[in-house]
Structure 1
Amino acid sequence: MQLSPDDMTPVLNRLKRAQGQLGGVIRLIESGAECQDVVTQLAATSRALDRAGFAILSSGLQQCLAEEGSVSEENAKTLEKLFLTLS
């Protein structure tokens, strides 16, 4: 199952935002910021990465359904494994 680059544009944007958030976490730690600020920013980064992962899975599932009319057992197992990896 190969993902369409066009479908991945929003995912790439989300990942770039997460990359910026991670840079913010690093800067906060390097500047000696408050623990609460660091953890809050780190949690936001983690959520952004999770959402990107789920968006990729969703796109893959939609693509499987569109191409084959249903998800093959092999693709279903692959998608389930990936989903559980994110949970």
Structure 2
Amino acid sequence: MVQTTSTQLKNRLRRADGQLQGILKMVEDGRECSDILTQLAAVRSGVERMMGVVVAENVKQCVTEDQLSAEQQAKLQAALDLVVKTH
């Protein structure tokens, strides 16, 4: 995985870990179920986005740029951006 992507992924994982620790505290403090569910949904969304980033980077590593024309590279990047955005 590209170093910058690896760093970004680590940062996202740390953020998710912090969110989960916050949710644990919310549970311990007896916070409202709706508040806890809202935070859980945020963590889930972040994890799904990380999954999209990992998949996109894996695809990029499997296909070298010299295998694709500029137009194909642009289409591939658009598709990968969509994967990241929707996950």
Under a length normalisation based on structure 1, what TM-score does the superposition of the two structures give? 0.69
Whether the 8 Å CA contact 1:18–1:45 is kept in 2: the answer is yes
Whether the 8 Å CA contact 1:8–1:56 is kept in 2: the answer is no
Alpha-carbon deviations, 1:29-79, whole Å to 9, x = none? 010001111000010011111111110111111111127837xxxxxxxxx
Q: Distance in 2 between matches of 1:68 and 1:12?
A: 29
Match of 2:59 in 1: 61
Residue 29 in structure 1 maps to residue 27 in structure 2 = yes
Q: Secondary structure at the match of 1:7?
A: helix
RMSD of aligned residue pairs (Cα, Å): 2.1
Q: After TM superposition, give the deviation of residue 9 of structure 1 in Å.
A: 1.2
Q: Which runs of 5+ in 2 are unaligned?
A: 69-82
Q: How many residues align?
A: 70
Alignment of 1:1-80 (within 5 A): 3-66=1-64, 69=67
Match of 1:76 in 2: none
Sequence identity (%): 34
Q: Which runs of 5+ in 1 are unaligned?
A: 71-82
Under a length normalisation based on structure 2, what TM-score does the superposition of the two structures give? 0.69
